[in-house]
Structure 1
């Protein structure tokens, strides 16, 4: 099971964490893992490229773990862009949950 935890403060995303494996198919053919990876890494790359913001990223060496934290000292205009991009990521992940809820869950803290 992939566990997604979205961290918020004052209704703004401060970071997120992904852990686990979907095990929805054989290694290399796990569509849920591939979808979650594409959505999350795509969003992280978009934030860094489009907002020129250095995110704090902790990634497991064996895969199956990603923690991303938004720095506190970000200009308001950039923070609005970051929020929009990460909210889009969450919507995409929720779409995956709708079809594959036995392999992924999302928690908001």
Structure 2
């Protein structure tokens, strides 16, 4: 199971953490894991390479997290289109494959 937790403040989505493996099929053929990885890594690349914002992040096997909280209020707002798009993409995967992924948003 992939557990995804977004943190939300008044200014918008400020962090996300993804943990686990979908294990929907054999390793290397798992479309759910591939979709989650592609969506989340593309999002992080957008922040780092397109917007050129430096954010705290960590990537490991079955784990990805990043936080926008050290950015200025304006830069956090600039990231919201990407963050909301990531949330919608992962929610879409959850709608189709809910037994392998859980997405939630926590107000902090």
TM above 0.5, yes or no, is yes
Pairwise CA RMSD of aligned residues?
1.3
In the alignment, does 2:29 pair up with 1:29? yes
Give the match's secondary structure for 2:89.
helix
Question: How is 1:1-109 mapped onto 2 (pairs within 5 angstroms)?
Answer: 1-10=1-10, 12-60=12-60, 63-74=61-72, 76=74, 78-109=75-106
Tell me how far apart the structure 2 counterparts of residues 11 and 91 of structure 1 sit (CA, whole Å). Answer: 18
Tell me how far apart the structure 2 counterparts of residues 73 and 21 of structure 1 sit (CA, whole Å). Answer: 30
- Range with greater deviation from structure 2 (21-30 or 4-13): 4-13
- Range with greater deviation from structure 2 (95-104 or 9-18): 9-18
How far off its partner does 1:50 sit?
A: 1.9
List per-residue Cα deviations over 1:29-85 (Å, max 9, x = no partner): 00000000000000110111221101101222xx11111111433251x32221111
- Range with greater deviation from structure 2 (66-75 or 11-20): 66-75
For normalisation by structure 2, the TM-score amounts to: 0.91
Give the match's secondary structure for 1:24.
coil
What is the aligned residue count? 106
Tell me how far apart the structure 2 counterparts of residues 13 and 73 of structure 1 sit (CA, whole Å). Answer: 12
